């Protein structure tokens, strides 16, 4: 009966067993062979498909690969492949632009982590900071790093501007990039300032009160400023009211500070940084160290096609 239900009968069963046996035999050869191949392959990971899909060129130390290492990487290709031998001297740039940018990245990173624990409301803000300080794992060092990086960034921008000035790097053709820089300076200070209020403690509250009180006195647009009251400015409709979302530093001011600090200004500053870096490249790389010019050459065009340190 079983046979009737199984037209292949005994032969079919035997065929299956044989096939399995055959496969097992083959497997004993195939798999070790493949395993060997795999292990061989692992000895040089740069040949794997995963590797070659990520890195678009070989790794050997050749001039071509050094150049490609920079050019084929979206982050590194901000740099040219080669630069003037003197342009890498720390004494020239002081590295302050790069350090400022690095601090901005650290601030973004620590700032996002802080945002997980912070509510921009009068009820919660201060407690959240206490919570961060005492209960969140690594919360204290997180907050400290964010604060000190912010201070360092302000110092970094100042020193960067100072060296750009001292090396005359704002001169032709970099006038426009200097202007982008000035805007970055302003936004860096504003980032710091808007963040100052967020812990909602006495320090931040009074600093921001002192700071925004000046807005009262804005000519034309502040209620205590020259011609302000003549234009109908009151504490309830002038620029200060617009900044704070109220006539005193309170819940709305906290929320506005938070949004400017975490969303508005970082976006604008990031865009400006992109333009800034782009222009550094387009204006011929950093300005020097360039060959010195003599008084007599002042009104003549510069020697050589590209005298600067690009």
Report CA torsion sign: 214, 268, 283, 277. Answer: positive
If contact means CB under 5 to 8 A according to the sort of partner, which of ligand HEM, other proteins, none does residue 111 touch?
Answer: none
If contact means CB under 5 to 8 A according to the sort of partner, which of other proteins, ligand HEM, none does residue 155 touch?
Answer: other proteins
Phi-psi region of 218 (alpha: psi -120 to 50; beta: other; left: phi over 0): beta
Residue 87: CB minimum distance to ligand HEM, A: 9
Q: Does 192 bind ligand HEM (CB under 6 A)?
A: no
CA dist 154 and 135 (Å) reads 30
Which parts of 55-94 interact with ligand HEM (CB under 6 A)? 93
Q: Does 191 bind ligand HEM (CB under 6 A)?
A: no
End-to-end CA, the chain: 91
Q: Does 224 bind other proteins (CB under 8 A)?
A: yes
When the beta carbons of 132 and 150 are compared against ligand HEM, the nearer one is 150
- Residue of 54, 166, 232, 305 interacting with other proteins (CB under 8 A): 166
Say if residues 182 and 170 touch (Cβ distance below 8 Å).
no
Residue 306: CB minimum distance to other proteins, A: 11
Q: For 176, what's the count of Cα atoms within 13 Å in the CB-facing half-sphere?
A: 11
x/- map, 94-133, other proteins, by CB under 8 A: xx--xx--xx--x-------------------x--xx--x
Q: Does 41 bind ligand HEM (CB under 6 A)?
A: no
CA dist 111 and 113 (Å) reads 5
Q: How far is CA 13 from the centre of its chain?
A: 67
Count of residues in the chain: 310
DSSP state of 135: T
Number of residues this chain uses to bind other proteins (CB under 8 A): 108
Q: Does 76 bind other proteins (CB under 8 A)?
A: yes
Could you tell me which stretch among 52-60, 64-72, 97-105, 292-300 binds ligand HEM (CB under 6 A)?
97-105
x/- map, 242-281, other proteins, by CB under 8 A: ------xx--------------------------------
Could you tell me which stretch among 42-50, 52-60, 73-81, 267-275 binds other proteins (CB under 8 A)?
73-81
CA dist 110 and 147 (Å) reads 10
If contact means CB under 5 to 8 A according to the sort of partner, which of ligand HEM, other proteins, none does residue 143 touch?
Answer: other proteins
Say if residues 277 and 78 touch (Cβ distance below 8 Å).
yes
Report CA torsion sign: 184, 188, 194, 195. Answer: positive
């Amino acid at each position: 009966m079983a046979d009737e239900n199984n037209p292949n009968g005994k032969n079919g069963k035997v065929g299956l067993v044989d096939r399995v046996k055959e496969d097992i035999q083959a497997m004993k050869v195939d798999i070790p062979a493949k395993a060997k191949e795999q292990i061989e392959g692992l000895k040089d990971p740069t040949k794997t498909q995963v590797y070659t899909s990520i890195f678009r060129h070989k790794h050997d130390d050749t001039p071509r690969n050094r150049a490609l290492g920079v050019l084929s990487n979206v982050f590194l290709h901000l740099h040219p492949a080669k630069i003037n031998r003197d342009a890498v001297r720390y004494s020239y740039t002081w590295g302050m632009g790069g350090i400022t940018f690095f601090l901005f990245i650290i601030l973004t990173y620590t700032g996002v982590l802080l945002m997980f624990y912070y509510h921009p409301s009068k009820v919660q803000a201060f407690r959240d900071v206490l919570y961060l300080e005492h209960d969140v794992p690594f919360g204290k060092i997180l907050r400290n790093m964010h604060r000190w990086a912010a201070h360092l960034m302000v110092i970094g921008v100042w020193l960067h501007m100072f060296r750009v000035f001292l090396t005359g790097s704002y001169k032709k053709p970099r006038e426009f990039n200097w202007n982008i820089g000035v805007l970055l300076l302003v936004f860096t200070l504003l980032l710091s300032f808007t963040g100052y209020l967020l812990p909602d403690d006495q320090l931040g509250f009074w600093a921001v009160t002192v700071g925004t009180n000046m807005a009262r006195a804005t000519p034309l647009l502040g209620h205590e400023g020259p011609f302000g009251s003549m234009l109908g400015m009151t504490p309830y409709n002038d620029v200060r009211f617009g900044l704070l979302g109220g006539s005193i530093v309170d819940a709305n001011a906290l929320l506005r500070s938070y949004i400017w600090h975490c969303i508005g200004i970082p976006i604008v500053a990031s865009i400006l940084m992109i333009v800034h870096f782009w222009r550094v490249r387009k204006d011929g790389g950093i300005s020097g160290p360039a060959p010195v010019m003599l008084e007599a050459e002042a009104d003549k065009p510069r020697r050589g096609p590209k005298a600067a340190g690009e």
